[in-house]
């Protein structure tokens, strides 16, 4: 039986293949690569999920079972899975494959990053502070939120390309969904992401209250998640202001995702409590 | 006399303009972005460090400017709190004004349905039911609607029957719930930072303490009770990573134990509004240990029981050794040699001299080149437990706001008011049924809702005609 790490390496390539197929289907306007892309992405997500369960089982075999969400490696794997699943649901509900060309690259990059030789992928038992169910809820909800924001960002980029294009209704950009649908989808994804980010921040605060006696300590990770939350709250309000239509919302959505990325990776360059995530 | 002419175009009274200013979404967008932008400062400049660190980094001039702006403690600064207060005022004023205006719209005495709006609604679904009359079908559908929708109305218009229904009107209050939760959160947070405290105390095993040193300050604070540590244990995984820290503690008032608790990380004790958390630990002076003297020539071992402060005689009366101190992490020439004892050796003849006895390096003392090499074995450590002690009267309010925020965000984003209009039209030998729905703010979910309802009604109407 393969171990979870080998499986994840294979899954990385399948994600890469799915991304290439989605781009091919979009550029060459073919339905066969498109259908294959969906199938390949489903296979990748299934492998990803299987690897997650396998790693869980492996940690039990080693005598200290834990839900594999406790270091950067495991979070990257879970992030990829969240994006793939949420995207597949969107594709199924809206029957649009062009979005895949702009979103399926994220799980690929996430897995590729996790597969770097410098990444510490060992299964290690949990130190006392991480032994908490609140932590599991915190990581799952945060990453569902991040994943929805990633997809919203992908769609926003498509929106910006389409609105900047000289002939928005023909050519490659013409195969995008119409502007209204994209705007609506972005909003849906951001609403979903905002709810989950809120729950994520809240469960994290409850965990911190249990472990350290304070629900909020202004450490850089916490503060950056708040900054992200404030940016998306701004976006939701900007929709109610006249003059803030599609393009500006799309820019804000991209800015929000930059804040997400910084909360996830950039903060590790700053001092603080959260060593991974 | 001009005043009358000018009256209509005169600027609105000052009070109204202030009110407008505080009610605007524009202000809230500015405030939210300002909070986001200023929050970055504190993540780039570490907060609450020692002033000398800042002075060295920024130079004295820039330091005093930044210090005057409270940059080094910005989240508790007057200007950051001012931004938060402005946000709360903005929210309250905006909500009060909007609720005043929309309450009657949200909860009207009578519900009006306009057939024209349903005729034009996108996502309208039509189908044909054969061998029946609109008047007959009307009752079946009306019954179905009455079970699932409120304010159901049936009326005849232009030769067709219309059945209307509505639900989820209250969900329009969801966004007020979100805003209320933000207000409660800010108030709860301010309460905590104004009336709460956060500190640390180290309690050695077997002892009781009541003084805590407050975080980010040199101040201390006395608790109304004392905390005794009866036992501390730390366990490790085979790899050496810590697995669990645990303190058995007792709360004492007037020398009497009033409560005991086994404290673990993630399992705090809350007593009289004060929270006590397992946070760290350390090794304290060992209570008992064995001093081993090894004859450097013959290799013979002589053992003596030792204790801190106790003096023992070397074999054959070659001198006296007093163990004076213990350190859990001794640094020898910049290397951490772990637990180590410091002793004073007074040979029978010659100068007295200090000796270092690291527990993990029993051959260390051979370097001294004496008659006997001294080492320490069988150490029984005592630990002290590091407790974090906090009080935050804002927490209940904060937790209420958490619950409200999640609930209200869900309502705002995923539930919506929907009005349904069903038209029944006699056509030849059957009835043409059309279902349409409208929602406030054109929610995309309305189309799905209409599709589901149409599917259910089709089943109902087919059963009826079949039966
Ligand atoms: C951190 C603070 C805030 C949060 C988290 C927040 C959250 C929200 C959310 C989630 C919505 C619903 C958006 C949607 O339906 O897609 C909303 C709507 C709104 N918010 Fe806020 N808000 C905040 C502050 C404010 C402030 C300070 C104001 C003051 C003017 C404000 C005014 C509004 C208005 C007018 C709406 C539209 C309500 C409607 O549709 O009737 N918000 N807010």
pLDDT digits (tens, 9 = 90+) for B380-433: 877 889 899 999 999 999 999 999 999 999 999 999 989 999 999 887 778 899
Residue ranges of chain A with per-residue pLDDT less than 50: 272-277
What letter does residue B316 receive in the DSSP assignment? G
Q: How far apart are the first and last CA of chain A?
A: 29
The pLDDT assigned to A243 comes to 66
- What CA–CA distance (Å, rounded) separates B71 from B38? 10
Which own/partner pairs from A88-92 qualify as long-range (CB within 8 Å, at least 24 positions apart)?
A88/A38, A88/A41, A88/A42, A88/A45, A90/A151, A90/A185, A90/A189, A91/A38
- What CA–CA distance (Å, rounded) separates A145 from A197? 5
- Give the nearest ligand 1 atom to B412 CA: 15
Q: Which of B202, B195, B179 is nearest to B93 (CA)?
A: B179
Inter-chain CB proximity A220 and B264 less than 8 Å: no
For residue B345, what are the CA distances in angstroms to A107, B306, B373? 66, 14, 12
Buried b or exposed e, range B156-174, using 16+ CB within 10 angstroms? eeeebbbbbbbbbbebbbb
Helix (H, G, I), strand (E, B) or coil at B121: coil
Any CB–CB contact under 8 A between B393 and chain A? no
Q: Which two tokens stand for residue A191?
A: 């609403």
| Cα-only R_g, chain A | 19
Residue B214: Cβ-neighbour burial (10 angstroms; 0-12, 13-18, 19+): middle
Cα B395 from chain centroid? 10
Count of other CB atoms within 10 angstroms of residue B378? 14
- What CA–CA distance (Å, rounded) separates B346 from B352? 4
Count of other CB atoms within 10 angstroms of residue A137? 17
- Give the nearest ligand 1 atom to A187 CA: 16
Helix (H) or strand (E) holding B424: strand B418-427
Count of other CB atoms within 10 angstroms of residue A118? 4
CB-CB contact of B357 with B343 (8 Å):
yes
Q: Is the CB of B28 under 6 A from ligand 1?
A: yes
Per-residue pLDDT of chain B (467 residues; tens, 9 = 90+): 344 444 455 667 888 888 888 999 999 999 999 999 999 998 888 888 888 888 888 888 999 999 999 999 999 899 999 999 999 999 999 999 989 888 887 888 888 888 889 988 888 999 888 888 888 888 889 999 999 998 899 998 878 899 999 998 889 899 999 999 999 999 999 999 889 998 999 998 888 999 998 987 788 999 999 999 998 888 888 777 788 888 999 999 988 999 999 988 888 899 998 999 988 888 776 678 899 999 888 888 999 998 888 899 988 888 899 998 888 778 888 777 888 899 999 988 888 889 999 988 888 998 888 888 999 988 887 788 989 999 999 999 999 999 999 999 999 999 998 999 999 988 777 889 999 999 877 777 888 889 999 999 888 877 655 44
Shortest alpha-carbon distance between residue B168 and chain A (Å):
19
pLDDT digits (tens, 9 = 90+) for B112-142: 888 889 988 888 999 888 888 888 888 889 9
Q: Dihedral, CA atoms, B87, B91, B93, B99, nearest 10 degrees?
A: 180
Q: How far apart are the first and last CA of chain B?
A: 82
CB-CB contact of B109 with B408 (8 Å):
no
Q: Is the CB of A240 under 6 A from ligand 1?
A: yes
Q: Is the CB of B7 under 6 A from ligand 1?
A: no
On average, the pLDDT of chain B sits at 87
CB-CB contact of B276 with B249 (8 Å):
yes
Inter-chain CB proximity A270 and B44 less than 8 Å: yes
Q: What is the DSSP string of B150-203?
A: EEEEEEEETTEEEEEEEE-GGGGGHHHHHHHHHHHHHHHHHHHHHH-EEEEEEE
Give the length of chain B: 467
Could you tell me which residues come within 8 angstroms of residue A127 by beta carbon, excluding any fewer than 6 positions away?
B241, B242
Q: Is the CB of B405 under 6 A from ligand 1?
A: no
Mutate to test the interface with B, among A93, A128, A196, A237 (most CBs of B within 10 A): A128
Ligand 1 centroid to residue B39 C-alpha, Å: 20
- What CA–CA distance (Å, rounded) separates B387 from B263? 9
Ligand 1 centroid to residue A6 C-alpha, Å: 47
Any CB–CB contact under 8 A between B408 and chain A? no
Mutate which of B19, B35, B175 for ligand 1 pocket (most atoms within 8 A of beta carbon): B175
Phi, psi of B405 (to 5 degrees): -65, -45
Shortest alpha-carbon distance between residue A210 and chain B (Å):
5
Among all chains, which residue has been given the structure tokens 């069988």? Answer: B378
What letter does residue A66 receive in the DSSP assignment? -
Inter-chain CB proximity B32 and A271 less than 8 Å: no
Q: Which two tokens stand for residue B436?
A: 């349409």
- What CA–CA distance (Å, rounded) separates A90 from A96? 8
Query: Which residues of chain A does B33 touch, with a Cβ-Cβ cutoff of 8 Å?
Result: 230-231, 234
CB-CB contact of B387 with B276 (8 Å):
yes
Q: Is the CB of B179 under 6 A from ligand 1?
A: yes
In chain B, which among 44-63 make CB contacts under 8 A with chain A? 44, 46-47
- Give the nearest ligand 1 atom to B174 CA: 12
Interior CA angle at A258 toward A233 and B187, to 5°?
35
Q: Which of A43, A37, A41, A44 is nearest to A23 (CA)?
A: A37
Q: Which two tokens stand for residue B57?
A: 């980094």
Buried b or exposed e, range B178-200, using 16+ CB within 10 angstroms? bbbbbbbbbbbbbbbeeebbbbb
Query: Which residues of chain A does B189 touch, with a Cβ-Cβ cutoff of 8 Å?
Result: 216
Q: Of B29, B244, B267, which has the smallest distance from its Cβ to A241's Cβ?
A: B29
């Amino acid at each position: 039986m393969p171990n979870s790490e080998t499986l994840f390496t294979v899954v990385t390539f399948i994600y890469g293949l799915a991304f290439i197929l989605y781009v091919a289907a979009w550029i060459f306007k073919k339905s066969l690569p498109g259908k294959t892309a969906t199938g390949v992405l489903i296979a990748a997500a299934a492998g990803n999920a299987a690897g997650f369960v396998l790693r869980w089982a492996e940690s039990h075999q080693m005598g200290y079972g834990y839900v594999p969400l406790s270091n950067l490696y495991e979070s990257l794997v879970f992030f990829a899975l969240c994006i793939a699943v949420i995207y597949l649901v969107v594709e199924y509900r809206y029957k649009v494959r062009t979005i895949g060309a702009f979103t399926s690259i994220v799980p690929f990059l996430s897995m590729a990053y996790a597969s770097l030789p410098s990444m510490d992928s060992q299964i290690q038992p949990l130190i006392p502070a991480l032994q908490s169910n609140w932590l599991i809820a915190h990581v799952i909800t945060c990453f569902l939120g991040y994943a929805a924001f990633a997809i919203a960002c992908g769609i926003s980029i498509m929106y910006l390309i389409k609105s900047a294009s000289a002939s928005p209704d023909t050519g490659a950009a013409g195969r995008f969904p119409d502007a209204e649908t994209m705007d609506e989808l972005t909003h849906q994804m951001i609403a979903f992401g905002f709810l989950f980010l809120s729950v994520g921040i809240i469960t994290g605060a409850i965990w911190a209250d249990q472990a350290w006696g304070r629900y909020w300590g202004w450490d850089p990770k916490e503060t950056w998640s708040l900054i992200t939350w404030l940016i998306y709250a701004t976006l939701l309000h900007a929709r109610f202001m006249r003059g803030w239509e599609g393009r500006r919302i799309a820019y804000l959505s991209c800015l929000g995702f930059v804040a997400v990325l910084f909360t996830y990776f950039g903060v590790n360059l700053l001092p603080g409590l959260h060593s991974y995530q | 006399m001009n005043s009358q002419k000018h009256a209509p175009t005169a600027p609105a009274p000052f009070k109204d303009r202030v009110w407008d200013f505080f009610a605007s979404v524009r202000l809230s967008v500015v405030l939210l972005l300002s909070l986001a932008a200023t929050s970055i400062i504190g993540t780039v400049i570490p907060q609450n460090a020692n002033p000398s660190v800042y002075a060295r980094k920024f130079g004295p001039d820039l330091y005093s400017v930044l210090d005057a702006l409270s940059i080094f403690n910005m989240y508790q600064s007057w200007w950051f709190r001012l931004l938060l207060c402005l946000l709360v005022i903005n929210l309250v004023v905006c909500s009060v004004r909007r609720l005043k205006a929309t309450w009657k719209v949200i909860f009207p005495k009578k519900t009006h349905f306009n057939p024209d709006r349903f005729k034009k609604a996108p996502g309208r679904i039509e189908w044909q039911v054969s061998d029946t009359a609109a008047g007959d079908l009307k009752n079946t559908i009306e019954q179905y609607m009455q079970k699932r929708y409120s304010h159901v109305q049936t009326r005849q218009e232009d030769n067709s029957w219309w059945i209307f229904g509505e639900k989820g009107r209250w969900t329009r209050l969801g966004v007020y719930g979100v805003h209320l939760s933000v207000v409660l959160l800010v108030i709860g947070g301010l309460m905590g930072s104004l009336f709460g405290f956060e500190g640390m105390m180290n309690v050695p095993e077997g002892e009781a303490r009541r003084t805590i040193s407050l975080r980010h300050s040199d101040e201390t604070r006395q608790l109304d009770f004392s905390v005794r540590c009866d036992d501390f244990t730390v366990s490790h995984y085979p790899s050496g990573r810590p697995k669990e820290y645990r303190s058995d503690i007792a709360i004492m008032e007037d020398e009497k134990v009033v409560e005991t608790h086994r404290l673990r990380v993630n399992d705090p004790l809350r007593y009289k509004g004060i929270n006590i958390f397992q946070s760290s630990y350390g090794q304290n002076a060992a209570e008992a240990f064995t001093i081993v003297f090894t004859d450097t020539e013959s290799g013979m071992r002589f053992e003596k029981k030792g204790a801190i402060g106790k003096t023992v005689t070397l074999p054959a009366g070659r001198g006296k050794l007093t163990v004076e101190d213990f350190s859990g992490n001794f640094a020898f020439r910049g290397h951490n040699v772990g637990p180590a004892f410091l002793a004073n050796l007074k040979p029978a003849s010659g100068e007295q001299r200090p000796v270092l006895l690291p527990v993990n390096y029993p051959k260390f003392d051979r370097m001294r080149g004496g008659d006997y090499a001294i080492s320490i074995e069988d150490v029984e450590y005592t630990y002290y437990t590091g407790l974090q002690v906090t009080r935050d009267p804002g927490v209940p309010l904060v937790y209420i706001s958490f619950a409200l925020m999640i609930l209200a965000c869900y309502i705002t984003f995923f539930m919506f008011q929907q009005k349904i209009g069903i038209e029944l039209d006699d056509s030849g030998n059957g009835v043409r049924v059309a279902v349409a729905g409208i929602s406030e703010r054109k929610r995309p979910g309305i189309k799905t809702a209409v599709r589901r309802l149409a599917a259910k009604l089709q089943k109902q109407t087919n059963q009826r005609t079949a039966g």
